[in-house]
Chain A
């Protein structure tokens, strides 16, 4: 299965943009890039996903490198409520990697 690599932690200031990186150098052509976040004592929450093009939604933006070997989750204005663990995972288009495991993710801290 294709794996992802993320830094252990990042810090940000409130109301500033945050760029969370993810490396996935062994990504296959049919893998979608998904991001989830997990607030303390809650289940993971879907944030955004994409295949090749950059994606925007009400929560965040996803920038995908041209070679697809890395991606960046962008939170445009961090708030204290964005402090969470952020997971980057790959999901195969046809479900071949349905035995899907989440890594440790990036722990984002937001300073007031």
Chain B
């Protein structure tokens, strides 16, 4: 099991460019999440999904879009990159959305927007 895999590991974008952060998991988890972590801070939830075709906003969704066409993949799209989106992005998954279920995280994508 690879677990949760994120690509790329690093990326530098210019202001106004767009990109897609990829996330895939091989644990057959229905629930997937995107978080961002700013320097010295905790993690904030951007979007989450409870299954293929179903997504919902988290705490900080502005400037991002997601889609979930398969159970395995949950890409995060930045349409018009801004310096405020410089952060480390983590994808996570769980087999249930309830409290009995641990979150499994990827190792992150470090994004710099200049």
- Contacting B at CB under 8 A, from A55-112, are 87, 90-95, 98-105
Per-position 1/0 for B80-114, Cβ under 8 A of A: 00000000001010001111111111111000000
Quick check: B99 and A51 within 8 Å, CB to CB?
yes
Give the number of chain A interface residues (Cβ < 8 Å). 28
The tally of CB-CB contacts under 8 A between chains A and B is 72
Residues in chain A near residue B99, CB distance under 8 A: 30-32, 34, 49, 51, 90-93, 95
Q: Which residue of B lies closest to A94 (CB)?
A: B98
Kindly list chain A residues whose C-beta atoms are within 8 Å of the C-beta of B35. 102
| B97:A99 contact, CB within 8 angstroms | no
A43-B98 in contact (CB<8A): no
Given A87-B42, A101-B59: A43 and B106 interface contact (C-beta under 8 Å): yes
Q: Is the interface of A mostly helix, strand, loop or mixed?
A: loop
Q: Does B48 contact A (CB under 8 A)?
A: yes
Contacts of A30 in B (CB 8 A): 99
- A93 contacts B104, C-beta separation under 8 Å: no
Most buried by B among A36, A91, A94: A91
A14 to chain B, nearest CB (A): 25
Q: Which residues of B contact A16 (CB under 8 A)?
A: none
Nearest chain A CB to B64's CB is how many angstroms away? 15
A23–B100 CA distance with the chains assembled, in angstroms: 20
**B44 is an interface residue with CB less than 8 A from chain A:** yes
- In the complex, how many angstroms separate the beta carbon of B111 from the nearest chain A beta carbon? 14
Q: Which of B43, B48, B108 contacts A98 (CB 8 A)?
A: B48
23 contacts between A and B (CB under 8 A): A31-B99, A34-B99, A34-B102, A36-B105, A43-B90, A43-B92, A43-B105, A43-B108, A44-B43, A46-B102, A49-B99, A90-B99, A92-B99, A93-B99, A93-B100, A95-B97, A99-B45, A99-B59, A100-B45, A101-B43, A102-B35, A104-B41, A104-B42
The residues of A with any CB-CB pair to B shorter than 8 Å are 30-32, 34, 36, 41-46, 49, 51, 87, 90-95, 98-105
